[in-house]
A and B are shown apart, each in its own frame.
Chain A
Amino acid sequence: VLLQAILSGLAIGSIYALIAQGYYVTHVTTNTLNMGQGDFLMLGALLGVTLYTSGVPLVFVIAAVIALMLLVGIGLEQIAIRPLKTAMSIGWIMSTVAVSLVVRNGAALIWGRNIRQFPPPFGQKIIRFFGAGIQPQEIFVFAVAIAAMLLLVLFLKKSMLGKALMAVAFSPDAAALMGINVRRMYWLSYAISTALAGLGGVLVAPITNTGAYMGGLLGLKAFAAAILGGLGEPFGILLGGLVLGVTEMLVANVNSALKDSSAFILILAILAIRPTGLFGKVISQKV
């Protein structure tokens, strides 16, 4: 019983973590968050369903969705973040929520309000593992999500572009003086963020109900995962997502009605004890 909960929890938790990395990327570079990550996940999922059901092979579906979502991210930054950076300090909260509402209702117009089925690309054969069942898709989700996160961290820490991003995060003014195009870094971070959400969407589509309104709760849980792990810590976020996913499933074992609220109760508890998240650095502020 426990094993089943843990396996199911790891699969869904890795999706939370993947989306949450999107929060991380924009947080460290621009100090803003895309509050509508869930709806960009939905967009990725619906694009994925459309492409996949029209016969495009899975690999190309994933590639196409990531490419499209990179463009969407650039657009988002241009529309919702840049114009407001100087106008209002927290205007981006409203503007990203607004864009996500537009995306959600636009999707409802294009794809309808109904739930769609993403045909499972790896069949529906259940793999038995010490009495617990797991779908091939869930293993795939877990593997790809972890791989994507490792690539992201490698990119940020090792590549030139990634280092430039981190430099902007550290100090935009100094970075600009060093010849880094700060504006470009801003939109790059948003492009990465939405691409991660889109990838999450394609991955999660076959194991969930895909529709225009799927994003809200997933986005919120991913946010919880990011807060849980600590917004500035990619590995913390990964663990945060997995902990959240497993906790939910374990709670559902005891009382299924508490499943969704358990995630948020956990956040409240953690934040009360460690305000910077489980793995966040404790910063002692001088007053």
Chain B
Amino acid sequence: MRKNAKLRLGSVLVVLMAFLAACGGGATAPSTPAGGGTSAPAADKTPIVIGWSNSLSGGTSDYGEASKNATEMALEDYKAKGGKYADRVKIVYYDDEAKPDKSVENINRLIQQDKAVILIGTTNSGNALGHIQIVQQSKIPEIISIATNTTITQKFAGEPKNYIFRTSMFDRNQVLTFVDTMVNNGFKKIAILHDTSGYGVGGKDDVVARLKELKITPIIIESFQTGDTDMTAQLRKAKDAGADALATYALAPELANVVKSADKIGWYPKVFGSWTLSQPLFMKLLGKDIANKFEIYMVQSFTIDQSPAAKEFHDKLMKKYGKDEFPIAAAQSYDSTMMALKALDKVGPDPEKLRDAIENQDDFVGVTSIGKKPYSKDNHEAIPREVMFLATYTKDGAIVKSNFK
């Protein structure tokens, strides 16, 4: 009897779950035809949706949080300045949990259900690579404000219209920046340490390729996995091989463990790497005591003291949120949102016209180093090599321009 009752309970649960799944599936299907193509009469009060999908949780949540704050602030500034669609623009935020499948789900939802006319987003390159196919096919422009994988903007470069733009520093240029600086400053015995994620492997390949162009062979290449805590074995090998500098490509938690492990074996090489070394989580996990024993250099394209606009932006964020832990991620997201809103004022809520407006704009003024005419048909990267530089930490953990040239 008891067994029967349990079985019955089980089958009820299964049916219930099937029902819930069906509901969830149905909800994502479009209930009204896509309204992207309609132009906006002045009396129209239907909201214009800007879609935002980024990581508010997961290992990259500090990027996502900085981005969300800055995006919110951009919309407020737009409204305060009396933008043309001030009473209709709405930004819909979704957390992608730093997971590619969740990111795809969010983007589908933003396009089909929320009818977003433009998208801003994504920290994780894997997430971006996972969903840009949908974005391109739906003919909705997306401005990537944080992800850096080189192929993201190039995947559809061959098509008549590429809908993917970027305001962050893409990997290839980051690699050129720090590898060239290393070599120009006399570091020739380079050990490469990378994680086995898409980000780390892609970056490592770029580093090796650039070193090859400079006729240098890295003396050792070692890897570790996401979640590893002890990298002493890899570092010991690099030390024994006689390395004088470390080129890293990984995310903040593991980078902190790399530096901790180097401290553990009593080896203090100069540490170089991409902008993930500037992620606030890196310093939080590492602690200043250990960090101050090392010289750590990472690629940046924005510091809060680079221009009056940047300074003003930082002060405003500080005033509104009481913190600006990740200025570069915030600034890039602010500029992305402003770029989207500016295009909207010019051509209205039509995704295809928005795309053309962004590609052809020649009057952009932002808080980052993005130029007046950032894009062209063949170039969807807003941050050129020239404005990237190596930065380092002060003893207090602030990020400043380094003395390297």
> What is the interface of chain A, defined by CB distance below 8 A to chain B?
1, 4-5, 8, 12, 86-87, 108, 112-115, 117, 124, 126, 128, 132-135, 207-209, 214, 217, 249, 252-253, 256-257, 259-260
CA distance A12 to B230 in the complex (A): 10
- Asked whether A257 lies within 8 Å of B223 as measured between CB atoms, the reply is yes
Chain A residue contacts of B224, Cβ below 8 A: 256
- Asked whether B3 lies within 8 Å of A87 as measured between CB atoms, the reply is yes
CA distance A133 to B289 in the complex (A): 17
Chain A residue contacts of B348, Cβ below 8 A: none
B271-298 interface (Cβ within 8 A of A): 281, 284-285, 287, 289-290
CB contact under 8 A between A133 and B227, given known A113-B57, A117-B285, A253-B236:
no
CA distance A252 to B57 in the complex (A): 30
- Asked whether A132 lies within 8 Å of B265 as measured between CB atoms, the reply is yes
- Asked whether A115 lies within 8 Å of B234 as measured between CB atoms, the reply is no
Chain B residue contacts of A132, Cβ below 8 A: 265
B1-42 interface (Cβ within 8 A of A): 2-3, 6
How many residues of B are in contact with the other chain, CB < 8 A? 37
CB contact under 8 A between A117 and B225, given known A128-B266, A209-B253:
no
Q: What 0/1 pattern do residues 181 to 211 of B give for CB contact below 8 A with A?
A: 0000000000000001000000000000000
Query: Least Cβ distance of A2 to chain B in Å?
Result: 10
- Asked whether A133 lies within 8 Å of B285 as measured between CB atoms, the reply is no
A-B pairs, top 7 by smallest CB distance, nearest first, are: A113-B57, A252-B233, A133-B264, A253-B233, A208-B229, A117-B285, A256-B234
B61 at the binding interface (Cβ < 8 Å):
yes
CB contact under 8 A between A124 and B230, given known A114-B57, A135-B264, A253-B236:
no
Chain A residue contacts of B61, Cβ below 8 A: 112-114
Chain B residue contacts of A217, Cβ below 8 A: 227
Query: Least Cβ distance of B254 to chain A in Å?
Result: 9
> What is the interface of chain B, defined by CB distance below 8 A to chain A?
2-3, 6, 57-59, 61, 97-98, 196, 222-225, 227-234, 236-237, 240, 253, 257, 263-266, 281, 284-285, 287, 289-290
CA distance A5 to B264 in the complex (A): 12
Give the residue name and chain of the A residue nearest to B57 (CB).
A113
- Asked whether A126 lies within 8 Å of B263 as measured between CB atoms, the reply is yes
Query: Least Cβ distance of A127 to chain B in Å?
Result: 10
- Asked whether B234 lies within 8 Å of A133 as measured between CB atoms, the reply is no
CA distance A249 to B265 in the complex (A): 14
Query: Least Cβ distance of B328 to chain A in Å?
Result: 20
CA distance A1 to B284 in the complex (A): 29
Instruction: Name 20 A/B residue pairs within 8 A (Cβ), A-sorted.
Output: A1-B236, A1-B240, A86-B2, A112-B61, A113-B57, A114-B61, A114-B281, A115-B59, A133-B265, A134-B264, A207-B229, A209-B253, A209-B285, A249-B230, A253-B237, A256-B223, A257-B196, A257-B223, A257-B225, A259-B225
